Structure 1
């Protein structure tokens, strides 16, 4: 069974889906007049606006962004980058960033549409609601929305939960000899305590964890890069040479650098998958484009900042050539240890644990919202209990089958969401254009 699911996963995540993901990002970038790129500085400045931090009894747009970032800042930023570099070479990092830059328009569009198609007074939604209300014929929209929600629930248990707690347990065991069963018990209990409080508590914990772990990790990575500053020009030159050379683009089926860079970039920031739109729809405020711009900044930070410093730390340290087959978190740990010693390995292990746990919390809300869409609001308590139990099980289990099922669910989530984004691209472009003057004004703050 595992072999079959792995083969199906590989087929689904082949060149056609990657081309659809990247192609949708390119189309939306052009369709919106490159507004995602032109207005990125202004969108970053929006995060300093008092209105973004204010809520009317619900959660603020900034808190919604922290919840969305909690789900995307995970093992992909540490393990995924190292895996991409091992499989696709240094050029894969450039393609991660290229995919992220075109993914900005996709992230803007899916989050904008999630707020645009809420009814007045609602504080819940996502791509499934957008499809049901925005697509024609209505029956097709409902079918697509139901399919998206079903696979979002599956993804929440797999890649959003069990895979994350497994990475957490592995990291803590390797760095501090914490038995996996202790991590399993703690993960399950703490997860249940947090998610029982609903989106308010999840957003509160995420708002504390995300800045803390991001700043700590970025500080460590910056120290590693600074410690190898003389190697930076050669490392950057090698990245672009391998990324844009003919062997990178034409080698194999689609080129290892392109294939692994695009795949891992999308895995990291989830642009085009629709997951962040569920968190965006929970925020206060009735301006759709405001939420789109804010969440667009999250995608930029996730890949173009966090993943970039991970990749630079690995490439500048030279461990990619000398690691002797090390991959994933082990490769990142070697890079950090090259400057920070054993404390570098401990820092990476703690960051893996925190990144993983934050992903569990973010996905808990997204999966629960998708489930209640399918059930008409029922099943929250059952879902929370099952989700917390899965968090514990994931920490002590071999997850080959779970990984395969998760990849399948992620792929099947992405397809209806991408088709919906293409169909409603005109609506997203109008919303961006209408709010653009406000973003440009914020740029002057």
Structure 2
């Protein structure tokens, strides 16, 4: 087991190192320029995300698809992951994380567009799509589509299921003394009540849960920033200057170079918002939308909310808290997060616990849909119920066991998902530009496909 753990740890470190950063960030920048900075349409996209398009074909509303994607994307990484980036790369990592989110909007836009462009309707009226369909129908590379589906299925049991259940069970045990097996049974019960209902049940719950949990967390963070008010502007200045100045950050932080800050900030941003991973377009394909560009714009708001807003606010909270309380140490992300939030009386620790619990549970819901669609692509609809049952059982397993090696295997599977998806985005960029010109640049967003 030690050998296996070491192997996947080294493989994960290599894959999510410089090669993956270059591939993902390079794709973000390329698509941003190629599509004439679609980020400038973010407010139009936000408006569309809450606009119902009932006459269009699809299984769930555009907002339902977005909420489900956000449920899978907004996870513990938005809290602990940002703190880890700050701990390892200094406060400048927050700015690099934020910039990654800004450029990642173009990639998430492109994924959503291809999801609608190449989706297909089943005999019973359901919509199926995602990178596997773009690879098969757009490029004719079914073998690569199959690999993507396999990696997605495996990743869903890891980063989307067992590790999230383990995070909830660990939190319940450390904070409230609840035995992990009890937490596991409770999580299984709540998850089963939602997951067995299929995509419409998942989307309906996510439409309620995601806005509530995100709004509650953001308002709580704003309260903390109010308490830390004298240190907020110094924290923002420190974040900006540390991102470009190769000198010690000071203020209780570890010193580091620009390269180190960029490495950890970019890596956390890429991993957090999943732009380029190929997960979000799987549920985007089910959206009720009249043309590919409308859903592409809606999908792009997922990266905006996840990284440009939530990760940025979390980063400023952590940096301002360290400046306000010099006794806070930065040895590891989990400790830094807990201590930073714990310094705020009354609301700090409950806010952190609420965020970790709801973010982890929502990730379980969102990733079940991804894995289910990937399994259906591989084996057909008859395996959907089997997959759901195994997924729910895995929640309990994840709650009661040590998942160190699972984390590393999941990281590798996520990387292996990203590679075929990025290939489809680059090879089909001409289609993306064509559709964007047809509906967005010619101001025809209300036109039907």
Matched, 1:260 2:261: no
Superposition map of 1:205-224 within 5 A: 205-224=205-224
1:156 aligns to 2:156 (yes or no): yes
Matched, 1:431 2:432: no
Contact 2:76 2:356 in 1 (8 A): yes
Please report how far the alpha carbon of residue 335 of structure 1 lies from its aligned counterpart in structure 2 after TM superposition: 2.4
Measured in 2, the distance between the counterparts of 1:182 and 1:432 equals 50
**Residues 174-230 of structure 1, C-alpha deviations (whole Å, 9 max, x = no match):** 332222221111112222221110000000111111011111111110001111111
The answer (yes or no) to whether the contact 1:158–1:405 under 8 Å persists in 2 is: yes
Please show how residues 249-328 of structure 1 align to structure 2 within 5 Å.
255-318=259-322, 322-325=327-330, 327-328=332-333
* Shift in Å, 1:351: 1.5
In structure 1, the residue matched to 2:251 is none
Q: What are the Cα deviations for residues 416-443 of structure 1, in whole angstroms up to 9, with x where unaligned?
A: 100110001111122222222687989x
Please say which of residues 235-244 and 425-434 is displaced more in the overlay. 425-434
Aligned pairs (5 A) from 1:59-98: 59-98=60-99
Among 49, 52, 64, the alignment partner of 2:51 is 49
Q: 2:347 aligned to 343, 346, 350, which one?
A: 343
1:221–1:336 CA contact under 8 A, matched in 2: no
Equivalent-residue separation in structure 2 for 1:207 and 1:95 (angstroms) = 30
> What is the alpha-carbon distance in structure 1 between the residues aligned to residue 30 and residue 441 of structure 2?
23
Counterparts of 2:170 and 2:413, CA distance in 1: 24
Q: Distance in 2 between matches of 1:106 and 1:123?
A: 22
Determine the structure 2 residue equivalent to 1:168. Answer: 168
* Structure 1 residues 204 and 441: alpha-carbon distance in aligned structure 2, compared to 1, 3 A threshold: closer
Q: Which has the higher helix share?
A: 1
Counterpart CA distance in 2 for 1:423 and 1:151 is 21
Distance 1:189 1:301 in 2: 29
What's the offset of the Cα at 1:124? 1.2
Task: After TM superposition, give the deviation of residue 112 of structure 1 in Å.
Answer: 0.7
What is the CA deviation profile of residues 27-82 of structure 1, one whole-angstrom value per residue up to 9, with x for unaligned ones?
Answer: 00011111x2221121122234343x777682111100000000001111111111
Alpha-carbon separation, structure 1, partners of 2:429 and 2:283 = 20
Q: Counterparts of 1:105-124 in structure 2 under 5 Å?
A: 105-119=106-120, 122-124=126-128
Number of residue-to-residue matches in the alignment: 433
Where does 1:402-417 land on structure 2 (aligned, <5 Å)? 402-417=406-421
Q: 1:153 to 1:57 in 2, by over 3 A?
A: closer
Q: Name stretches of at least 5 consecutive residues in structure 2 with no aligned partner.
A: 249-254
Q: In the alignment, what sits opposite 1:130?
A: 134
Contact 1:128 1:149 in 2 (8 A): yes
CA contact (8 A) 2:57 2:290 kept: no
Residues 99 and 288 of structure 1: CA distance in aligned 2, closer, same or farther (over 3 Å): same
Structure 1 stretches lacking a partner, 5+ long = none
Q: Which residue, 6, 25, 45 being the options, matches 1:22?
A: 25
RMSD (Å) for aligned C-alpha atoms: 2.2
Q: In structure 1, which of residues 353, 357, 378 is the aligned counterpart of residue 382 of structure 2? A: 378
What CA distance in whole angstroms lies between the structure 2 residues aligned with 1:150 and 1:253?
A: 38
- The answer to whether the 8 A contact 2:278-2:418 is kept is yes
> Residue 37 of structure 1 aligns with which residue?
39
Alpha-carbon deviation of 1:266?
A: 1.3
**Change over 3 Å in CA distance of 1:271–1:190 after alignment to 2:** same
**Distance in 1 separating the partners of 2:256 and 2:69:** 35
* Distance (Å, rounded) in 1 between the aligned partners of 2:334 and 2:283: 28
In structure 1, C-alpha distance between the alignment counterparts of 2:46 and 2:444, rounded to whole Å: 11
Structure 1 residue corresponding to 2:338, chosen from 333, 336, 342: 333
TM score, norm. by length of structure 2: 0.91
Q: Distance in 1 between matches of 2:134 and 2:257?
A: 35
Question: In 2, Cα distance between the equivalents of 1:359 and 1:68?
Answer: 9
Q: 1:441/1:404 Cα in 2 relative to 1: closer, same or farther (>3 Å)?
A: closer
- CA distance in 2: counterparts of 1:20 and 1:149, whole angstroms: 20
